[in-house]
């Protein structure tokens, strides 16, 4: 007797949600990213006009000067939605924990000389305030922006900045024996040290920028590409013999920039490519904020490496990056 095992291929009635199928023009399987992103934000039937900004609706394409026919065009090449984002960051954070354990076990930060320690407190730790400001900006873009495709990765980015501020704070706690006195000194430096005032002015000015896509350009091409890259990528010389220790403890920032850059570059590129008007606007914003960030970074660069080379190197890399995205600077 032979037993024949029969399989039945059950064809599902639908492959994906109706709104996803309508967007694709066909009912075909969609990824989790697409299902969690495309057309998720509400567009109609808001009940109350926001009293604080009665000229706009809650989600309103007019809150930025750039115009997109479809704000779901600038998709995230990393295809992050809640789960994939958290899995990726949890893996990166494991490396952070390992690096901190390594540095603690060998007492690498305890052994450094007082001059380098003072420099780390005054020149590296205050950057946590810049990360906090960046967190504010990304959260602001999330609430004023249009379309889940752009706003969802922005709130992920806001979380990243908070995480990086915490990593910097942990470096401070390693330096002051977990008392927090280094962090107090670093805040004082952020508020009063002339080297930081340009950076502080820039980030505080960005807080009041009302055009959310201009804020996006300011944050990703100004703050991230010039100021953060300057400190994390162009200033190894500032830490002398501790450069490797600092590089290890800030490895997260390097990995994060390489990865987030893919997304932020793609968004700027797609929005600028939409129309000549968009390109002119975004180019103007990029030029303005990269120039400002370079100026703001110069005193800090002098304080870190002795001259303005780190600021100019980071700014020219940012300009080259902007040009590669189709902008005209």
322 CA to centre of own chain:
16
Interface with another protein in residues 17-36 (CB under 8 A)? 29, 31-33
CB of 321 to another protein, least distance (A): 20
User: Shortest approach of another protein to residue 77 CB, angstroms?
Assistant: 5
**Choice between 33 and 156, CB closer to another protein:** 33
Count of CB atoms situated within 10 Å of the CB of 324: 10
Place of tokens 């399987």: 29
Of 31 and 143, nearer to another protein (C-beta) is 31
| Among the residue ranges 42-50, 62-70, 76-84, 90-98, the one whose residues contact another protein (CB under 8 A) | 76-84
Count of residues in contact with another protein, rule CB under 8 A: 12
Stretch that binds another protein, among 75-83, 110-118, 177-185, 267-275 (CB under 8 A): 75-83
Using rule CB under 8 A, residue 3 touches another protein: no
Q: CA 249, CA 222: separation in Å to the nearest integer?
A: 24
8 binds another protein (CB under 8 A): yes
Q: What does the radius of gyration of the chain's CA atoms come to, in whole angstroms?
A: 23
C-beta of residue 323 within 8 angstroms of C-beta of residue 253: no
**Which of 9, 55, 97, 105: binder of another protein (CB under 8 A)?**
9
Report in angstroms the alpha-carbon separations of 102 from 129, 165, 237.
26, 20, 22
182 touches 106 (CB < 8 A): no
By CB under 8 A, which span of 57-65, 72-80, 109-117, 184-192 interacts with another protein? 72-80
Q: Does 4 bind another protein (CB under 8 A)?
A: no
The residue written with tokens 């602001």 in the block is 140
Q: Which residue has the tokens 């394409």?
A: 61
Q: How far is the CB of 216 from another protein (least distance, A)?
A: 20
Give the range of 70-78, 99-107, 150-158, 292-300 binding another protein by CB under 8 A.
Answer: 70-78
- The reply on whether position 2 binds another protein by CB under 8 A is no
Closest separation between CB of residue 262 and another protein, Å? 9
CA distance to 24, 57, 132, 184, per residue, from 144 (Å): 27, 10, 18, 33
Distance separating alpha carbons of residues 53 and 224, to the nearest angstrom: 29
Closest by CA to 69, choosing from 152, 148, 147, is: 147
Q: Among residues 2, 4, 7, 45, which is the contact residue for another protein, using CB under 8 A? A: 7
Closest to another protein by CB, 10 or 51: 10
DSSP secondary structure code for residue 180 in this structure: S
Residues that bind another protein (CB under 8 A): 7-10, 29, 31-33, 76-79
């Amino acid at each position: 007797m032979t037993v024949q095992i029969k399989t039945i291929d059950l064809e599902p009635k639908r492959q994906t949600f109706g709104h996803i199928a309508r967007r694709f023009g066909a009912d075909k399987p969609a990824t989790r990213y697409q299902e969690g992103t495309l057309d998720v934000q509400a567009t109609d039937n808001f009940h109350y006009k926001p009293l604080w900004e009665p000229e706009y609706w809650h989600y309103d394409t007019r809150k930025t000067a750039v115009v997109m026919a479809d704000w779901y065009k600038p998709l995230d090449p990393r295809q992050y939605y809640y789960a994939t984002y958290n899995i990726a960051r949890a893996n990166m954070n494991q490396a952070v924990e390992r690096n901190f354990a390594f540095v603690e076990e060998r007492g690498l930060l305890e052994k450094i000389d007082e001059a380098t320690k003072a420099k780390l407190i005054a020149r590296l730790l205050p950057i946590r305030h810049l990360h906090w400001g960046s967190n504010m900006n990304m959260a602001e873009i999330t609430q004023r922006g249009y379309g889940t495709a752009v706003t969802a990765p922005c709130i992920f980015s806001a979380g990243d900045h908070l995480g990086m501020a915490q990593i910097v704070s942990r470096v401070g706690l390693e330096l002051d024996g977990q008392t927090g006195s280094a962090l107090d000194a670093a805040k004082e430096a952020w508020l009063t040290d002339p080297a930081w005032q340009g950076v502080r002015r820039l980030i505080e000015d960005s807080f009041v920028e009302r055009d959310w896509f201009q804020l996006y350009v300011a944050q990703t091409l100004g703050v991230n590409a010039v100021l953060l890259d300057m400190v994390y990528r162009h200033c190894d010389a500032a830490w002398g013999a501790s450069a490797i220790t600092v590089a290890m403890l800030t490895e997260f920032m390097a990995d994060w920039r390489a990865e987030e850059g893919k997304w932020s570059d793609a968004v700027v590129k797609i929005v600028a490519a939409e129309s000549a008007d968009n390109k002119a606007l975004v180019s103007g914003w990029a030029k303005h904020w990269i120039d400002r960030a370079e100026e703001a970074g110069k005193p800090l660069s002098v304080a870190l490496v002795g001259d303005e080379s780190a600021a100019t190197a980071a700014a020219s890399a940012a300009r080259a990056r902007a040009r590669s995205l189709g902008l005209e600077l």
